[in-house]
Structure 1
Amino acid sequence: MEWRARPVSLAWSNPVIRWWGLLSLVSAANIAVWFALYRQFHEQANGSLSNTSGIGLMLLLCAAYVFGCAFRSVLPRADVQRICLVDTWLSSVVVGRTVATVAEVCFAAQWAIVLYQLGTMTGAETTVTIAWIIVPLIVIAECFSWYAVLTTHYLCNAIENSIWAVVFFLVGIALCRLLPEFHGPVRWAFIVAIVGIAAFLAFLMTVDVPMYLNRWRANLAAGGTLLHPLEGLRDVSRRWVVTHDIAEWREEIAWMSLYFSMAVWSSLALCVGYSLEDQLPRYRTEPVIVSTSVTPAAQRTATIETAATPRN
């Protein structure tokens, strides 16, 4: 093990410590919500909830994301810089990146399952197609992430986050395709999700991706050299730098705060949404099909009666 610490105050007056405490608090609340959902769904299934069932699988995938993000909140680290807050082998990049990879693929799988559910229910082929390509794209993004971590190549971080942007742009398209298929609270839930995705994309393209591109250019200007992947693997396994200096963490705070809070909330929300499958048909906006053999006057009467009939 190789490490070094930069002595900075651990007092509550240190903004890094306050941020760390907030991350830990939010993560504890997220875990509590997950257990509440598990208990609720378990009781609904009369104690027969199986991990092979639909909601059981969704809860399992959500657990990987919730607990993975909690782990990364309690033991924050910045991969390429090799910095962390706690001096333990669990803060090593190889451990943290492995946890992140599993969690992020599971999160992508949640979105794929929910979109496939909604797409097949409504016959929306665009949504079903997008559901099938989400996970493969995120696996590719994870490959770029690992290469960036091993070699310290920030350009690959920028590519990774650009792929995430493409994925959620496609998710937004899938949700837009579903808007005409539903009314009431379901449609409003889709609108809220679309607005959230738009905000996420704006953050990625104006803050996150430019940050990595700037680091890449700065490294090039400084004549920095990249590590060979095998050399990088040894490095991420053995070296971590403990620092509580706000200057070291300033650029990480924004994306970590959003990632370990709002992204986790969306994972929990996907579980809830998936569990409501039986209630979704009542909010469908299926058109009334009128037989061509009916007279025009009867068609008009049927249309008026249909429009006057309230939906449940």
Structure 2
Amino acid sequence: MSLEWRARSTSLAWSNPLAWWWGLLTLVSGVNIAIWFLLYGRLRDQPGGALGGAPGIGLMLLLCAAYVFGCALRSFLPRADVQRICLFDTWLSSVVVGRSVATVAEVCFVAQWAVILHPLGLMTGADTTLNAAWVIVPLILIAECFSWYAVLTTNYLGNAIENSIWAVAFFVVGIALCRLLPEFDGRVRVALAMTVVGIAFYLMFLMTVDVPMYLSRWRAVVANGGRHLHPLEGLRDVCTRWVVTHDLAEWKGEIAWMSLYFSAAVWASLALCVVYSLQDDLPRYLTEATVAISAPDTAAVVSNPPIPTTGL
């Protein structure tokens, strides 16, 4: 059985590695959607709260849904914004649609981290973690502005700055989680340590692969005397122009980050829902010193944890 799509005199068949890559993205996204529905069913049926066992779990599931389904759409219809390239000739492949979906999804993803960090900071009395919860959403909103600037003007420098801000935001998250390590024992401390390691690998990828790639593209355009679009000119361009290409060379620079983004990052979003649903169990993993200092505050946080809404 062969797979073939016709678009602007190009075709994509199973002999093309892009077909296998697209098929893998689609499969992973389908599984991610199934996991979200499974989590929704399980957490909805738990006692306590309007939805699930933990107060605010409904909001967490909603934020996760925006990220899971947003990434799924971008997996089904891959595109590269600045280059205006895509795999399928459909208006859903337009940059303005894809970038808008990505903006909402990414803000919701970082909001999940804020919703997780805030009650943990209150539970342990960790001001560093509390401050991180309030800072990361505004940081990502700024990053999204640079992303849109890059997309509208076709200036890769905006992408480099955007991803640098993502690195700063998750460096802050990593510091916040490190601050929590001495406050917990047992499996919670192990989970925190594993998350910090995962963030460290993410930061390494950003600073050694992603940001240098965009800086290299920016320098190449400048060296060749390339012209950047005016933002208003770019707005019309992102609404009307998308170029279908099945040339592996055109996609080579996008495959690595897209593959990680639409798999590991989505798994992190789903995992945050699971962690949040277990927050009632977290106090029993607090160290004795932490319990002695923050026992009254811990009870209040568990019964009704405040949810940061900055940027939402």
Once residues 199 and 162 of structure 2 are traced to their aligned partners in structure 1, the CA distance between those partners, rounded to angstroms, is 17
What's 1:98 paired with?
A: 100
Residue aligned with 1:134, SS = helix
Once residues 50 and 127 of structure 2 are traced to their aligned partners in structure 1, the CA distance between those partners, rounded to angstroms, is 33
What's 2:15 paired with?
A: 13
What's 2:307 paired with?
A: none
C-alpha displacement of 1:287: 2.0
What's 1:276 paired with?
A: 278
Once residues 204 and 47 of structure 1 are traced to their aligned partners in structure 2, the CA distance between those partners, rounded to angstroms, is 38
On the 8 A contact 1:8/1:245 being kept in 2, the answer is no
Structure 2: gaps spanning 5 or more residues = 1-5, 293-312
C-alpha displacement of 1:117: 1.3
On the 8 A contact 1:130/1:171 being kept in 2, the answer is yes
1:143-154 → structure 2 map (5 Å cutoff):
143-154=145-156
Once residues 239 and 117 of structure 2 are traced to their aligned partners in structure 1, the CA distance between those partners, rounded to angstroms, is 37
Question: Counterpart amino acid of 1:132?
Answer: W
C-alpha displacement of 1:46: 7.5
C-alpha displacement of 1:49: 2.0
Structural RMSD (CA)? 1.9
Work out which of the residue numbers 126, 129, 132 in structure 2 matches 1:130.
Answer: 132
Question: Counterpart amino acid of 1:57?
Answer: L
What's 1:56 paired with?
A: 58
On the 8 A contact 2:183/2:290 being kept in 1, the answer is no
- Count of aligned positions: 286
What's 1:193 paired with?
A: 195
Work out which of the residue numbers 77, 80, 88 in structure 1 matches 2:79.
Answer: 77
Question: Counterpart amino acid of 2:255?
Answer: I
Once residues 224 and 104 of structure 1 are traced to their aligned partners in structure 2, the CA distance between those partners, rounded to angstroms, is 30
1:21-60 → structure 2 map (5 Å cutoff):
21-45=23-47, 48-49=50-51, 53-60=55-62
Instruction: Normalising by structure 1, report the TM-score.
Output: 0.89
1:289–1:30 Cα change, 3 Å: closer
Residue aligned with 2:289, SS = coil
Matched, 1:223 2:210: no
What's 2:161 paired with?
A: 159
Matched, 1:257 2:238: no
Which has the higher Rg, Structure 1 or Structure 2? Answer: 1
Once residues 289 and 54 of structure 1 are traced to their aligned partners in structure 2, the CA distance between those partners, rounded to angstroms, is 24
C-alpha displacement of 1:8: 4.3
On the 8 A contact 1:87/1:242 being kept in 2, the answer is yes
1:53–1:280 Cα change, 3 Å: closer
Once residues 289 and 127 of structure 1 are traced to their aligned partners in structure 2, the CA distance between those partners, rounded to angstroms, is 17
Once residues 62 and 89 of structure 1 are traced to their aligned partners in structure 2, the CA distance between those partners, rounded to angstroms, is 25
Structure 1: gaps spanning 5 or more residues = 291-312
Residue aligned with 1:287, SS = helix
On the 8 A contact 1:6/1:244 being kept in 2, the answer is no
Once residues 13 and 74 of structure 2 are traced to their aligned partners in structure 1, the CA distance between those partners, rounded to angstroms, is 21
Once residues 290 and 35 of structure 2 are traced to their aligned partners in structure 1, the CA distance between those partners, rounded to angstroms, is 41
On the 8 A contact 2:71/2:102 being kept in 1, the answer is yes
Question: Counterpart amino acid of 1:80?
Answer: V
Once residues 38 and 102 of structure 2 are traced to their aligned partners in structure 1, the CA distance between those partners, rounded to angstroms, is 24
Question: Over residues 59-106 of structure 1, what are the superposed CA-to-partner deviations in whole Å (9 max), with x where a residue is unaligned?
Answer: 000000000000000000000000000110000000000000000000
Give the fraction of aligned pairs with identical amino acids, expressed as a percent. Answer: 74
Question: Counterpart amino acid of 1:38?
Answer: Y
What's 1:202 paired with?
A: 204
Residue aligned with 2:242, SS = strand
Question: Over residues 140-168 of structure 1, what are the superposed CA-to-partner deviations in whole Å (9 max), with x where a residue is unaligned?
Answer: 00000000000001001000000000001
C-alpha displacement of 1:224: 0.6
1:17–1:152 Cα change, 3 Å: same
